[in-house]
Structures are given as structure tokens and as C-alpha cells.
Amino acid sequence: MQSNDVKQAYGLKLLKWLAAAMLVPVLGVPATKLAESYYDVSFFSPAIAGLWNWILSVGTWLGQPVSVQLWLLLTIAICTVSTAVALVRVFRDSNREREAKDAILDATYARIDAAISEIDSLDEELGKTRVKLDTAELELAAALAKVESLLTPKMQPLSEHQRTVIAGITTYDNADKECYVKDLCQKINFTMVQTDGAVDVLLKRKLIEEYYTNGGRVVSLTPDGRAYVLDPDFDMPSLTSR
């Protein structure tokens, strides 16, 4: 739309210029004659007369009959020149539009390249951060394990009295009998205090469990207790031979 407006303005400007060029000599002759008659000056007369004669000769030439072929050739020439001028303008405008689009495309590509570079940089930083995070997690796990080992005291091995008590309980479980603590102390030849103390430790270690009946305190092996007495290192005969 703007290109059409520019073309129309240019055509009007050219038409005005041609009209002015034709009117200046035409109007100049009467103006000169009027000046000479008013001021009685004849300095411009020869030049103006010659220009007037040229205008008359041009008018005479234009008044001559012209053949149809000449007018057709003149029309074709004018159309050809006009078409060439229009094509040149269209090509120039399209070239400018293409250059503008190429500039926009180049700027877009530049932004894309910059964004890709920034993404690559962020990805590299993310990889470094991930490595640092993994290292920190390993260090934290090691520190937590150390703290847990410090907070959790190492389990001491059972004493001879405690092994004797758990071995005695095992004999009752093997015979499918209830193991009363008061009967157990007589069987293993321990005092009641010694037997109760060993039972308390075994309960804390979750190697045995207890319950009460009318006959008193009854104890039996837990799954962990059975695994303990079934260990090859557990010497059952030496503990039950008392």
C-alpha cells in the first residue's frame, strides 16, 4: 500500500514538472512583450522571438498527421519503458524486503545461537553441581553411619551365666515344656538373682520372651534366640551339663 502511494506521488510530481516546463516558455513570450511595451526595452526581443518561432515550429510539427503505425510504435515504446521502470521498482522493493527479512532471520539465528550457548553453559554448571551433590551425599551417608555407630553401643557377647541360662531355656523348648524361671534356676544350679539377671539381659537382647501364668514367670526362645543357639559356635552340651 505504501509502495503504490509512493508511485502515484512520483507520477504526479513528474507530470507537474513537465507541465511547468511547457508553460514557462509559452508564458514567457507574452510576459516579455508586455515588459518591452511597458519599459520600451528591446534587449530580450531576439531571444524571445527565436524561442517563439521554435514553439511555433514544434506546434506545427505536432499538428502534422501521424500514421497509425507510428502512434502504435510510440505507444509500445512508452508501455515498454513504463513496464521496465515498474519492474525495476518492484525488483528494488522486493530486494529491500528480502534484505530486511534476511536481517531479521540473521538476528533470530543469532539469538538462537546465544540461547543454545547459554543452555550448554547451564547444563555444564548443572553437571558440576550434580557431581558436588553426589559427593556431599556420600560424605553425609558416611557421617551418619559414623554417628550411628557412636550412638549405638556395640553389643557385648553373652557372659557364661547368660549362655547357661539360654541353654537351659533351650532344653525346655526342645522338650515342649513351659520354662518357669524358678524351675530353671534349680535345673542349672543358679541362684534366683543370677537367673533373673541373665533373663533380663536376654529379654533386652530380644533372644527370649516372657509371659506370666498362675505358676509364675515363664520364658521361651524368640526367633533370634533360636538362631543364636543353632549357630555352630554355640556349645550346647558344655552349657547344659551343669
Tell me: the pLDDT tens digits for 139-191? 998 888 888 777 766 667 888 888 899 999 999 999 999 999 999 988 888 89
Helix axes 192-204 and 160-174, enclosed angle (nearest 10)? 80
Answer yes or no: do 58 and 2 share one domain: yes
User: CB–CB of 177/219 below 8 Å?
Assistant: no
Q: Which domain holds residue 93?
A: 66-130
pLDDT for 163-172, tens place per residue? 899 999 999 9
Note the pLDDT of residue 121: 87
Answer yes or no: do 70 and 48 share one domain: no
User: CB–CB of 221/207 below 8 Å?
Assistant: yes
SS3 211: strand
Determine phi and psi for 226, rounding to 5 degrees: -65, -40
Q: Where are the alpha helices (DSSP H) in 40-67?
A: 45-63
Of the listed ranges 4-18, 115-129, 214-228, the least confidently predicted one is: 4-18
pLDDT for 67-101, tens place per residue? 666 667 778 888 888 888 888 888 888 888 888 88
Does 62 score more than 60 pLDDT?
no
User: CB–CB of 55/26 below 8 Å?
Assistant: yes
Note the pLDDT of residue 21: 47
Return the beta strands (E) in the chain as ranges: 179-180, 208-213, 216-221
Residue 181's CB: how many other CB atoms inside 10 A?
18
**Which positions ≥6 away from 185 have C-beta within 8 Å?**
191, 192, 194, 195
Number of domains within the chain? 3
Answer yes or no: do 10 and 21 share one domain: yes
Determine, yes or no, domain membership for 148.
no
Instruction: Examine the fold and report which residue of 64, 87, 102 is the final residue of a domain before the chain moves on.
Output: 64
SS3 217: strand
Determine, yes or no, domain membership for 218.
yes
User: Average pLDDT for residues 221-240, to the nearest whole number?
Assistant: 79
Note the pLDDT of residue 35: 52
User: CB–CB of 199/210 below 8 Å?
Assistant: yes
Determine, yes or no, domain membership for 139.
no
Set of cell numbers at residue 32: 516579455
Determine, yes or no, domain membership for 76.
yes
- pLDDT cut 90: percent of the chain above it: 21
Note the pLDDT of residue 91: 81
User: CB–CB of 220/172 below 8 Å?
Assistant: yes
Answer yes or no: do 120 and 90 share one domain: yes
Answer yes or no: do 176 and 236 share one domain: yes
> Hunting for cell 509371659 — which residue is that?
211
